[in-house]
Amino acid sequence: MLKEKIVVITGAGISAESGLSTFRDSGGLWEKHNINEVASIQGWNINPQKVLNFYNLRRKQAAAAQPNNAHKALAKLENHFDEVVIITQNVDDLHERGGSTKVIHLHGELSKARSERDESIIFDIGEKPINLGDKASDGAQLRPHIVWFGEMVPLMEKAFDEVESADILIVIGTSLLVYPAASLINYSKPGIPKYIIDPADTELLNIEDWIHFKENAGTGVDKMLNELLR
């Protein structure tokens, strides 16, 4: 067992090969949907049915999707390293179904619903849709357990702590355009090995500092693992 702690930051790109759309690539979700209408508290207040329709469909798609090679390969890292923590911006559960045991969902989880009044009242709903009139135990309407634009990211402090104590940092399939998640990469210890797997040049990175596997996660993760375990 190797002693290093690995922290992996993932985004929508890692689930693309499982058939789930990314947000900002051409044909991505934010080309087809208005971000303010479906992913903000203002949108929820104006037209909750539209928001529920958006997340009910995404929940159904995520439940029907299967973890791909990248999710499974990351889970296998746990056989080689003392500690592996995944910090994901994704709201699907493909890391867990791929076998990873420590997953932090920065932007929430599709398979959970919460009270619109009290964010600490959270329910597992699995694949089921949320409908208008569905109530939490406090009598308030249920809403998706998703962190919307303009809302606090409750797990951010925990994520910063994980990145600060990482010995190896890996970033996979995220444009790093959404804050505060994107700021995580600035919290690593100086000099540690840093890998990025993304077919695009994510512009925010000082790429000289990072080893870039410029390809899809499905193949890129295997190449990176070969290098890590060499």
Write out the residues near ligand OAD by the rule CB under 6 A.
Answer: 11-14, 16-17, 22-25, 28, 39, 89, 107, 147, 173-175, 177-178, 197-200, 202, 216-217
Which lies closer to ligand OAD via its Cβ, residue 31 or residue 82? Answer: 31
Structural tokens at position 11: 């985004």
Q: Check whether the bond before 180 is cis (ω within 30° of 0).
A: yes
Which lies closer to ligand OAD via its Cβ, residue 140 or residue 178? Answer: 178
Catalytic residue among 71, 105, 107, 145: 107
Q: What is the DSSP string of 178-209?
A: STTGGGGGGGSPTT--EEEE-SS--TTS-GGG
Least distance (Å) between residue 99 CB and ligand OAD: 19
DSSP 8-state symbol, 39? S
Which lies closer to ligand OAD via its Cβ, residue 115 or residue 144? Answer: 144
193 phi/psi in degrees, rounded to 5: -65, 135
Least distance (Å) between residue 175 CB and ligand OAD: 3
What is the Cα–Cα distance from 174 to 63, expressed in whole angstroms? 21
Supply the angle between the helices 217-229 and 69-76 in degrees, to the nearest 10.
20
Place of tokens 């090969």: 17
Single-letter residue type at 213: F
Least distance (Å) between residue 226 CB and ligand OAD: 17
Which lies closer to ligand OAD via its Cβ, residue 91 or residue 168? Answer: 91
107 catalytic? Reply is yes
Which lies closer to ligand OAD via its Cβ, residue 12 or residue 130? Answer: 12
Segments in the chain forming alpha helices (H): 13-16, 29-32, 35-38, 41-46, 48-64, 69-76, 94-98, 156-164, 217-229
C-beta neighbour count of 213 within 10 angstroms:
21
Query: Which of 72, 64, 76, 65 lies closest to 95, judged by CA?
Result: 72
Do residues 165 and 116 lie in contact, with contact meaning Cβ atoms separated by under 8 Å? Answer: no
Catalytic residues: 107
